[in-house]
Amino acid sequence: MNVLPSGEQWVLRGGGFEATVVSVGGGVRELTYDGRPVLLGYAEDEAAHAGLGQHLFPWPNRITDGQYTFDGADQQLYLTEPARQNAIHGLTRWANWTRADDGSDPAVVVATHRLHGQPGYPHQLDLRLTYQLTDRLTVTAVATNIGKSAAPYGYGAHPYLTVGRVIDDCVLEFTAADRLEVSADQMTPTGLAPVAGSPYDFSGGRLIGETSIDNAFTGLDAEWSVALTDPDSGARSVLTGDTPWMQLFTGEAVGRTALAVEPMTCPPDAFRTGQDLVVLAPGESHTTSFQVSV
């Protein structure tokens, strides 16, 4: 039996969209609208790279040195970003997810995964992802603490918006009050800087050009959006979220062919700082969602 690097392939269709969800990481391998890529994808005989379409449980972004203290206990996570000595993007990117719906609705896929305790994260979570296509793709992420003790928790996702051309030639539009500055070596947070009037101010919509971004933003609306537009064709890809943070990355890892827009419930290093960290009591759940549209 030959197994694809991204595992099982679950296709859903609706509203002119077609998406493929995969069992490895439970992520989105591709999303198109009337045949046009809306999210940058990868081939079914490839593994996800550069975080394409992946989900980040139980923390997004980085934890410096993989070290933190929670409930009086010091923890050490595996350093999954060894070049910077960080633990990055959680524990489920390469885990196997199981399809939980019966497939009777062609526009819906539900995937689940049980995260067991492991070194640095001695907690048990039941995780659930629901994908639904209407006039957009809606992704809902739910985590439930099924263990006996409180668990630190954060969520993020790593989709890349694309309009089919290098993003230097595209118009970016989003609004945020503050940008998180980070150190050059480990990308450890060093403080907030105002976005207004800075090179990162795209509130009126303008060409990205040579601007390089790999930062978290906050001071967002309760429902915020990031739009990428081809000024020649008018093609648009939009991500809308409800999280207090989002990371933008100008996709140098994929040749600046797409823009990573990462909704995040907390900033980098939240396990260390406690900033916007969710603490799940036993039996408690947390739910968040984001949408991708054109």
Cα–Cα distance for residue pair 16/130, rounded to 1 Å: 19
Determine the average pLDDT of the residues in 160-177: 98
Query: With 90 as the cut, is the pLDDT of residue 163 above it?
Result: yes
The two three-digit tokens of residue 97, written as one number:
């997810």
Question: For residues 237 and 228, what is the distance between their CA atoms, to the nearest angstrom?
Answer: 5
Residue-averaged pLDDT of the chain = 97
Give me the pLDDT at residue 47, please.
95
pLDDT score of 2: 86
Residue range 102-153, pLDDT digits in tens = 999 999 999 999 999 999 999 999 999 999 999 999 999 999 999 999 999 9
Report residue 148 CA to chain centroid gap: 28
Q: For 61, phi and psi rounded to 5 degrees?
A: 60, -140
pLDDT band per the 50, 70, 90 thresholds, residue 1: confident
The Cα 208–Cα 171 span in angstroms is 6
Q: Is the peptide bond before 58 cis (omega within 30 degrees of 0)?
A: yes
pTM of the model: 0.97
Cα–Cα–Cα angle for 21, 86, 192, nearest 5°? Answer: 90
Pair 149, 125: CB distance under 8 Å: no
Q: For strand 125-133 and strand 206-207, is the pairing parallel, antiparallel, or unpaired?
A: unpaired
Question: Which of the 8 DSSP states describes residue 143?
Answer: E
Please give the pLDDT value at position 282: 98
Residue 208 pLDDT? 98
Assigned token pair, 237 = 């890809």
Nearest residue to 73 via CA among 40, 116, 121, 113: 121
Report whether 186 contacts 64 (CB < 8 A): yes
pLDDT over 80 (residue 84) = yes
Q: What b/e sequence results for 37-71 when a residue is b if at least 16 CB atoms lie within 10 Å of its CB, and e otherwise?
A: bbbbbbeeeeebebbbbbbbbbbbbbbbbbbbebe
Question: pLDDT digit string (tens) for 41-61?
Answer: 999 999 999 999 999 999 999
Q: Kindly provide the residue ranges of all beta strands, DSSP E only, lying in 208-273, ordered along the sequence.
A: 214-218, 224-229, 236-241, 245-249, 259-264
- Pick the closest to residue 56 from 95, 110, 101, 11 (CA basis): 95
